[in-house]
Chain A
C-alpha cells in the first residue's frame, strides 16, 4: 500500500506544523520496484560474512525486505 501522494497533499495544507517537510534528501522520492513486479536477483553478505539471496531469506509465504538509511546515522 503506497501512500506517498496523499502525504504530499496533506503537507500542502499543514506546512506550518512541526514535521520535517523540505529535507533535500527526499527530493524526487522513489519507491523502486513496482507492486506486481519481480524483485531483482541479489546476493549480499550479512554482518558475519554469510551470503544471502532471496531464496535463503524467504519463508513459506515470502519475505519482508526492509531498506533503511544506515545503522550509523
Chain B
C-alpha cells in the first residue's frame, strides 16, 4: 500500500495513520506478509460496522455477493478532536488520490522532481506530488510562481487583462481536473480608478491530473501550458505562454489475491 511509503511524512505532520477494509484478519495478514509488512495498523472491519458508521457503505453491491460490505473508497483527514478536516474520495473505479498528493495539498510537501522555467517576467517551478505513481492515480501538480518585486500577474476573475491559466495539453491518457488557485490580492489602479485581482511574490497553483489505467508505457510525460499577463509599476507586458512537461514513472499495482481458502465466498445466486 502506497501509504507505507508516505508514512513518515504523515507522522512528521503529527498524524496517526490507519487503513480500514472489510477484510478478515487472515486476509490482512496474508496481504501484509506478501507486501513486506506495514508500520501502521491494518484494521479488519469484518461486517463493515465502521464502514457503515462513517456513511460510506457501498450499497450497490448486492447482499451475498463476494464484495458485499466494501466501502466507497476514500480518505478522511481528522483532527485531534475527531473532527473531519478534509476528505479525499475518488468516484471512478481504480482511481484514487495518492498519499503524496494529500501531503502536497494539506501540508505543502515538496513533492517530486522540479522543472524550472524562467521567462522575462517571472520564475516558475513545476513538480508532481511524486516521481513514481500507479496507473489510475490522481496526482497533484504544483506550480510555484516567483515574481520579482513590483511585478504582478492577473488572477482569475480579472476583466480587461489576461488571467493566469494552467492547462494540461490534450492527451487521451490524461484526465485534467480544475485548477486550484490561491486567494488573490486586490490591487487598486489609481490612474484608471479600477481594483483588479492579482498575484505578487510567491504563489502556489495546484492542478490534479488522473493517469489512465490503460497507459502501456512505464512513464508518462504530462505536458502543461501556462499563460499569464504580467505588469510592473510602469508597463503592462504582452500576454505570454510557456510550455513545459513534468514526468512521472509508472509502477504496477499489486494484483495478486489472497489464497482461495481466505477469499470471501460468493453467495448463492452469484
Partner-B contacts on A (CB < 8 A): 1-4, 6-8, 10-11, 14, 17-21, 23-40, 42, 44-50, 52, 54, 57-73
Contacts and interface: CB of A to CB of B under 8 A. Distances in A.
B269 interface: no
Contacts of B90: 7
Contacts, number: 245
B43 A4 contact: no
Nearest to A20: B93
Given A18-B172, A63-B16, A25 B43 contact: no
Contact of A46 (B41, B51, B56, B172): B41
Interface stretch (B17-25, B116-124, B125-133): B17-25
A10 to B, nearest CB: 6
A13 B257 CA distance: 35
B212 A17 contact: yes
B228 to A, nearest CB: 22
B102 A64 contact: yes
B78 A2 contact: no
B255 to A, nearest CB: 8
Contacts of A10: 175-178
14 contacts: A1-B87, A1-B88, A8-B91, A19-B212, A20-B93, A25-B93, A29-B91, A36-B84, A37-B83, A44-B49, A45-B44, A61-B13, A63-B15, A68-B1
Interface residues of B, number: 84
B72 to A, nearest CB: 5
A67 B44 contact: no
A71 B27 contact: yes
Chain B facing A: main interface SS = mixed
B160 interface: no
B21 A70 contact: yes
A31 B77 CA distance: 13
Contacts of A32: 54-56, 72, 74, 76, 87
B119 to A, nearest CB: 29
Nearest to A14: B175
A15 to B, nearest CB: 11
A2 B84 CA distance: 12
B268 interface: no
B31 A64 contact: no
B143 interface: no
B74 A62 contact: no
B11 A59 contact: yes
A25 B58 contact: yes
Nearest to B171: A17
B32 to A, nearest CB: 6
B17 A18 contact: no
A35 B181 CA distance: 21
Given A46-B44, A47-B44, A66 B18 contact: yes
Given A72-B258, A72-B264, A35 B85 contact: yes
Contacts of A27: 60
Nearest to A54: B82
A25 B33 CA distance: 29
Contacts of B79: 61-62
Given A20-B94, A47-B25, A33 B76 contact: yes
B43 A30 contact: no
